[in-house]
């Protein structure tokens, strides 16, 4: 994935920038739905590992645990919003 849109620093998304962002969110939703195996609207820590690998991120155990600690609810599940935040953070890190 390429860096997030909004390159000119004006604080606004132009049509091209919006299109990039929209397509990225649609891709995230497709991945999320594929790995929300029980269709609960959230993914487990195990499902997150599979979803992140599908998105192109092979993470070591420690980094995966850190993401779960940061983005998951107490039951260790992530909803779609948290999943997007997690992927955005990974994109900026890599």
pLDDT at site 6: 53
The reply to whether 2 falls in a domain is no
Q: Any idea what the CATH number is for the domain that residue 37 is in?
A: 1.10.238.10
Mind listing the pLDDT tens digit for each residue in 62-73? 999 999 999 999
The reply to whether 8 falls in a domain is no
Indicate the number of domains in the chain. Answer: 1
Question: d(Cα 14, Cα 86) in Å, to the nearest integer?
Answer: 24
Mind listing the pLDDT tens digit for each residue in 1-47? 445 555 566 778 899 989 998 999 999 999 999 999 889 999 999 99
- Residue 24 belongs to domain spanning: 15-93
Task: Output phi, psi for 59, to 5 deg.
Answer: -105, 150
pLDDT at site 1: 45
The reply to whether 43 falls in a domain is yes
């Amino acid at each position: 994935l390429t860096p997030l849109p909004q390159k000119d620093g004006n604080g606004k998304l132009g049509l091209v920038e919006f299109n990039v962002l929209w397509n990225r969110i649609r891709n995230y939703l497709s991945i999320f739905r594929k790995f929300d195996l029980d269709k609960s609207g959230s993914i487990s820590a195990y499902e997150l590992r599979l979803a992140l690998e599908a998105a192109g991120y092979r993470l070591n155990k420690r980094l995966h645990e850190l993401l779960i600690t940061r983005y998951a609810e107490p039951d260790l599940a992530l909803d779609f919003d948290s999943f997007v935040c997690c992927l955005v953070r990974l994109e900026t890190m890599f």
